[in-house]
Structure formats: C-alpha cells, structure tokens
C-alpha cells in the first residue's frame, strides 16, 4: 500500500482467488492505476491468454492497452524494450517459458544492459510474464524451468510466486520496478496447491489461507522471502510449486523443518536464508529445474560461503534430472515426496 491509501493491508477486504484470478486482478489494478501500463502477447487480448490470465482485460481497457501480437517472441520482447525506453511499462506475456529463447538476445543484450549502457539515461521497466514448470504433461516443449538462464544475467530480476496472495503483490511490485523483471508463474499451481502426492484428488485454492487476496492495490517488495513454517531440525529453501511439495512432505513425516519460500531469486533475501540456516545447521534446496548449473547450485554455494561454521552436514539438493522433460514419465522427473523425504532423512541422520 502507498502512504495515501486510507486502508491498511490488514484491514482491506479479501477474496479467495486462484493464482490465475490473482494475476488477472493485479493486471487489472495496474491498468487502471497507471495509463503507461501496456499488455501484449500471443492471444492475450480477445482470447484472454492460453491460461486465461488476461481474460476480460481487453474488453475493459481497450485494444490499445491490451493487444495481441504475431507469433514472434523476439519481436514481442524487442517491442517491449522500446516501449520501456520511451516511458511506458509494458507487460509482455510469453505463452510458455519454453518459448522464451527466441527473445533471449533482446532480454540479455538490450533490456538488461540498457540502464548500464546509457548511464541510467534510459531504462527498460518491463515485466515479462510466462507460465513455467511441469505438472500438466506438457512434455519437453511446454514444461521447462529456465530460471537460471535469467538469474545469471546482471540487470534482470527474477520472480517466482507460490500463492495467489503473493502472485498479486509481487506482480504489482514487478510492474512498478524500473528494471526488467522475469515473472515466472508455476502453472502446476495456477488452480490449486500441489503437495506432490499424485494419487490424491487435485486441490483447489478455495478457502486456502494463502488464497485470501486483498482487494485493490498492494505490493510485496522484491527481495523478501516468506517463512512458510518455522522449525529447528533443518532449513528447506524452495520456490514456486516446490514450496507446497516440501510442505506436504514435512507434514506427512512430522519433520520440524523451517521452510523458506524465496519468492524472488534475484534479488535474493540472503539475510533470511542465513538466519534460518544458522539456526538449524542443515539445509536442503529443492527446485524443479535440472540439477547441473541450476539455481540450487548458487544457493548451495551461498549457504556454504556464509554459514559454513554453522553447518552440521553438507547442503543437499533435490532437483529435476539432467534430461529433457519427459512426457510419460513426468511424475518420476518431478521432485516428489520420495526423493525429498530421502534427502530429509539423510540430513536428519547426519551429525
């Protein structure tokens, strides 16, 4: 909330929403609040997006504020860079994160460098939204988790929400940020939390405490982690879908683990990470992306560098495998309760 907002966030009326609805609400709020906000992407206008995150926004705000583009990810990102340089706040959607690679040059060579190259005379205040990750049997070309490509690039910020409440607040903060932001939306939890137990009925966000989304404007600062649950036995670092899977495993096993939802990978809330690991002495990193050079490697290095004398065991990682995302074997690839549970047991047994 801003200082001129008369109602505090705690007092604001809240509605239970799915993540799709929360993202739509955030975009609606910013389109209404800031005439410089522009939405663009494949099928986001008339159709409302492949996952319906922009449904109704073109009808409400007009075709000059919410419009469809050709199937050209390089063109979408390039146009958004130019819009940002000229003072607009574009929010391009890339239909699936797997399709973002044709736009990589524009993101890395133009958007991320613009502030530095122009000595801050020009900026690229753009937020690139994209569904990412597995869980819907999308196979190799609709299930990738490419976050580490972007966390490696100086000048880009990378955000991954895990709840409807956070999705709205973080998206608003991203749109207001003066630097380019990659906003990855875990599609496995668009419609409900997922604890990794595949033989159970799908859950809905309805009545979930983290689905209570305040009405109107609010933002969550980029670079602030969320403590999902407090504990003393070990620290689990996760983001996106893996937050819910880790929480489900700890609940089933009765483990006194502290789970940190990182929320933003860059900037990273390293202070929260240090505080938790120094308390527990053990650390498990969980992410869906492939293991080699994944963001978990950076987290492992940071924890080792900063918390070495507090660690009682080596940092563990549970990740996707170093293979393309399989279609028929998706649940085996997905870091699930068995692999996470085994890693927790190893850490608890270590001394």
Class of residue 212 by CB neighbours under 10 A (exposed 0-12, middle 13-18, buried 19+): middle
Arithmetic mean of pLDDT over the chain: 94
Do residues 41 and 95 make contact, with C-beta atoms less than 8 angstroms apart? yes
pLDDT number for residue 6: 40
Q: Please check whether residues 234 and 142 belong to one and the same domain.
A: no
Q: Which residues are catalytic?
A: 142
pLDDT band for position 234 (50/70/90)? very high
pLDDT number for residue 198: 85
Q: What is the pLDDT of residues 163-193, one digit of tens each?
A: 999 999 999 999 999 999 999 999 999 999 9
Residue range(s) defining the domain that contains residue 47? 12-189
Of residues 136 and 231, more confidence is placed in 231
Class of residue 270 by CB neighbours under 10 A (exposed 0-12, middle 13-18, buried 19+): middle
Closest C-alpha among 237, 244, 239 to residue 343: 237
- Could you tell me the CA-to-CA distances from 273 to 142, 157, 281, 304 in Å, in that order? 31, 18, 11, 11
Burial 60-86 (b: 16+ CB within 10 A, else e): ebeeebbeebeeebebbbbbbbebbbe
Of residues 56 and 143, more confidence is placed in 56
Do residues 98 and 141 make contact, with C-beta atoms less than 8 angstroms apart? yes
- pLDDT of 154 > 80? The answer is yes
**Owner of token pair 């070990």:** 234
Q: What are the residues whose beta carbons fall under 8 Å from the beta carbon of 271, sequence distance 6 or more?
A: none
Residue 247 counted as domain residue: yes
User: Checking phi first, is residue 275 left (phi over 0); if not, alpha (psi -120 to 50) or beta?
Assistant: alpha
Once rounded to an integer, what is the mean pLDDT over residues 261-280?
98
Once rounded to an integer, what is the mean pLDDT over residues 106-135?
94
**How many structural domains compose the chain?**
2
Q: Please check whether residues 157 and 98 belong to one and the same domain.
A: yes
Q: Please check whether residues 147 and 227 belong to one and the same domain.
A: no
Closest C-alpha among 138, 125, 142 to residue 181: 125
Q: Please check whether residues 162 and 45 belong to one and the same domain.
A: yes
Whole-structure pTM value: 0.95
Distance in angstroms (rounded) separating the CA atoms of residues 70 and 86: 22
Q: Please check whether residues 151 and 58 belong to one and the same domain.
A: yes
Q: What is the pLDDT of residues 28-87, one digit of tens each?
A: 999 999 999 999 999 999 999 999 999 999 999 999 999 999 999 999 999 999 999 999
CB neighbours of residue 5 within 10 Å: 12
């Amino acid at each position: 909330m801003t200082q001129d907002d008369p109602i505090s966030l705690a007092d604001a009326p809240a509605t239970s929403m799915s993540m799709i609805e929360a993202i739509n609400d955030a975009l609606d709020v910013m389109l209404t609040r800031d005439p410089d906000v522009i939405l663009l992407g494949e099928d986001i206008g008339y159709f409302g997006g492949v996952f319906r995150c922009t449904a109704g926004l073109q009808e409400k705000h007009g075709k000059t504020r919410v419009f469809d583009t050709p199937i050209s990810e390089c063109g979408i990102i390039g146009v958004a860079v130019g819009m940002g340089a000229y003072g607009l706040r574009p929010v391009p959607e890339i239909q699936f994160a797997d399709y973002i690679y044709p736009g990589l040059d524009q993101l890395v060579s133009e958007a991320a460098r613009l502030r530095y190259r122009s000595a801050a005379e020009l900026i690229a205040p753009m937020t690139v939204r994209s569904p990412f990750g597995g869980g819907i049997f999308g196979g190799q070309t609709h299930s990738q988790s490419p976050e580490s490509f972007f966390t490696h690039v100086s000048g880009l910020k990378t955000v991954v929400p895990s709840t409807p409440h956070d999705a709205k607040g973080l998206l608003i903060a991203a749109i207001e940020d003066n630097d380019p932001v990659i906003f990855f939306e875990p599609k496995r939890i668009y419609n409900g939390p997922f604890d990794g137990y595949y033989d159970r009925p799908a859950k809905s966000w309805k009545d979930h405490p983290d689905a209570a989304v305040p009405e109107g404007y609010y933002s969550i600062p980029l670079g602030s982690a969320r403590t999902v649950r407090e504990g003393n036995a070990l620290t689990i670092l996760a983001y996106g879908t893996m937050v819910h899977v880790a929480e489900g495993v700890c609940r089933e096993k009765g483990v006194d683990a502290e789970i940190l939802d990182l929320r933003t990978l860059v900037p990273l809330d390293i202070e929260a990470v240090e505080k938790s690991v120094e308390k527990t002495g053990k650390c498990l990193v969980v992410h869906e992306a492939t293991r080699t050079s994944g963001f978990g490697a950076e987290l492992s290095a940071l924890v080792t560098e900063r918390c070495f004398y507090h660690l009682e065991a080596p940092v563990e990682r549970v990740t996707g495998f170093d293979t393309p995302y399989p279609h028929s074997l998706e649940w085996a690839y997905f870091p699930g309760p068995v692999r996470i549970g085994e890693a927790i047991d190893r850490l608890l047994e270590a001394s």
